Amino acid sequence: MIEKAREILQETFGYEEFRPLQADIIQNVLQKKDSLVIMPTGGGKSICYQIPSMIFDGLTVVISPLISLMKDQVEQLEEFGVPAIYLNSSLTPEQYRENIAILRRGEAKLLYLAPETLMMDSTRELLTEFEIDCFTIDEAHCISEWGHDFRPDYRKLATVRKDFPDAVCLALTATATPRVRDDIQQILEMKDSGRFVASFDRKNLLLKVVDKENPLDQILDFLYTRPNQSGIIYCFSRRQVDELNADLRANDHSVRPYHAGLSEAARTRNQEAFIKDDVDIIVATIAFGMGINKPDVRFVIHHDMPQNIESYYQQIGRAGRDGIQADCLLLYSYSDKQKIQYFINQKEGQEKEIAKKHLDSLLDFMEYDGCRRIPLMEYFGEEYKKDNCGMCDYCLQQMGDKQDFTEQAQKFLSCVVRTNETYGAYHIADILRGSEAKKVLENKHNELSTYGIGMEWSKNQWIQLSRMLIRKGHLKKDPKHGSLVLTDEAKAVLKGESQVRGILDRTQTTSPEQAMPR
């Protein structure tokens, strides 16, 4: 059966290979074994039910709280030729009736439902007409009070699930602590279910927490080294968003605000401008970001303390979706901490207890004296074993604030060797980035073993690395042609006998000593 699944992956969705865990999950679902899937956003959860839905004879029902995203998802599936429809309160009565007719004609394999639609008696009755093979619950953490987004409607799914005893249950979430995981499985009565937990480590995110001293200056310093880059700055309050937006604008930055106090039209306009690169920076409250899939967000700044680790992780997770390095800076102040404590103290009972726990784990992360990835991964039930992640403030400081670029240097240098030391840095960067530029193709450099092995970096970063390698004496630049030639030091790097460490401009910290002149 997994062979059939692979065929659909390649022929319908056009992907070469399964990502880690996807094949195991699909196999489990096809064998009608309940499964809980925990994967970070962008990890590829959707095909875990979409592919089985095309193999099952009956219908796959997908519960999702994100009404605004259902339409997009269904349209996307239509592009792939997967017959899917949705029922929710956004449809007109005619559309609603038409979709039910499609279902009755057996022309849909996937039915997306909002939880409140599912809870309606008419829907439950409608569903008894069909053979349902798979009952999928997206954003399953909404079921648990211990999650960050509890929705009472979700809790009732447990009873509805009993309407379809023959359907396998698949619960999906991007943010679940061990406690929430247990809750989901218990509430949904997922017996002997498989649990699939993908790694939550986002290796390309550079994590920094610094003391908030003069936030505007700190942010301006940070932006100074990142001209024209896309980024999001999160603030605690609407007032703070408006203030910072005005301050950044006064400093000639391309910036727009986003918060629930703006009209819907203004919010949509600002969001669109950001997505289309008409504007570099969005200053926002937590209202911003749901469903945003912009691959090249290069930084996320927290001007104020986030609500809890899950929100923080979700917010920084919007950066670097393209796999290229992105920087996450959190400005931490004691008065933010007091502000949050004040709000928590106004709560009562279990709600207060939960909020306190959330704050404690956030403080554990922010005040941790060691690699930031240790407390962050631990929160998601993962043990981080590497000695030095090389991509957080603590680990960078351990290395004298220098990052280890040995691997990238080896890639760059071997590409120089493969092209007979006759080209300049821009061309080498193009080859590493798998560019289809004319000069690359004409010289058949797309056939080199080093073609496309440097996708993790932007062209700009490779150029900066080349400058560093010249400064350090690993490369010499031919003054006439600009071509790069290896020195003996470079050969030691290629053999793995010597390391390359340094600072690329764009990863500079914002500590006051290093502040750039403006």
Instruction: Return the residue of 6, 15, 286, 339 that touches ligand ADP, per CB under 6 A.
Output: 15
Using CB under 6 A as the binding rule, whether residue 52 contacts ligand ADP is answered as no
Which residues 6+ apart lie within 8 Å of 248 measured at CB? 219, 220, 223, 255, 281, 283
Q: Where does this chain touch ligand ADP (CB under 6 A) — which range of 41-49, 124-132, 307-315, 501-509?
A: 41-49
Integer angstrom CA distances of residue 207 from 234, 299, 503: 15, 10, 15
Q: What's the closest the beta carbon of residue 298 comes to ligand ADP, in angstroms? A: 19
- Contact between 45 and ligand ADP by CB under 6 A: the answer reads yes
Spatial distance between the Cα atoms of 100 and 88, rounded to a whole number of angstroms? 12
Ranges within 379-398 binding Zn ion (CB under 5 A): 389, 392, 395
Q: How far is the CB of 383 from Zn ion (least distance, A)?
A: 14
**Candidate segments 7-15, 196-204, 320-328, 367-375, binder of Zn ion by CB under 5 A:** 367-375
Q: Which of 25, 29, 43, 281 binds ligand ADP (CB under 6 A)?
A: 43
47 binds ligand ADP per the rule CB under 6 A:
yes
- Does the protein bind ligand ADP through residue 41 (CB under 6 A)? yes
Nearer to ligand ADP (CB atom), residue 315 or residue 466? 315
19 binds, among ligand ADP, Zn ion, none (CB under 5 to 8 A by kind): ligand ADP
Which residue number, 149 or 378, has a Cβ lying nearer to Zn ion? Answer: 378
- Residue 392 or 431: the one with the smaller Cβ distance to Zn ion is 392
Residue 232, interface with Zn ion (CB under 5 A)?
no
Among 1, 11, 42, 278, binds ligand ADP (CB under 6 A): 42
371, 415, 468, 484: which one contacts Zn ion (CB under 5 A)? 371
**Which residues have a Cβ under 8 Å from the Cβ of 306 and sit 6 or more positions away?**
234, 312, 315, 330, 362
Q: Give the Cβ contact number of residue 274 at 10 Å.
A: 25
Long-range contacts of 365-368 (CB under 8 A, 24+ apart): 365/209, 365/309, 365/312, 366/209, 366/305, 366/330, 366/332, 368/394
Cα 240 from chain centre: 25
Q: What is the largest CA-CA distance in the chain?
A: 80
Could you tell me the CA-to-CA distances from 223 to 19, 228, 268, 270, 510 in Å, in that order? 35, 9, 25, 20, 10
Q: How far is the CB of 146 from ligand ADP (least distance, A)?
A: 21
Residues sharing a CB contact under 8 Å with residue 372, sequence separation 6 or more, in sequence order: 207, 209, 365, 389, 392, 393, 394, 395
Query: Considering only residues 12, 46, 398, 446, which one is a binding residue for ligand ADP as defined by CB under 6 A?
Result: 46
Angle between helices 349-366 and 334-345 (to 10 degrees): 170
Specify the residue, 186 or 397, whose C-beta has the smaller distance to Zn ion: 397
Residue 389 interacting partner from Zn ion, ligand ADP, none (CB closer than 5 to 8 Å by kind): Zn ion
Q: Which stretch binds ligand ADP (CB under 6 A): 16-24, 61-69, 110-118, 145-153?
A: 16-24
Answer yes or no: are the C-beta atoms of 429 and 408 closer than 8 Å. no
Asked whether position 91 contacts Zn ion by CB under 5 A, the answer is: no
In the complex, minimum distance from the CB of residue 37 to ligand ADP, in angstroms, rounded to a whole number: 9
Residue 60 contacts which entry, ligand ADP, Zn ion, none (Cβ below 5-8 A, type-dependent): none
Q: Which of 39, 87, 190, 362 binds ligand ADP (CB under 6 A)?
A: 39
Q: Quick one: which H or E segment has residue 414?
A: helix 406-418
Q: Using CB under 6 A as the criterion, which residues of the chain lie in contact with ligand ADP when the complex forms?
A: 15, 18-19, 22, 39, 41-47
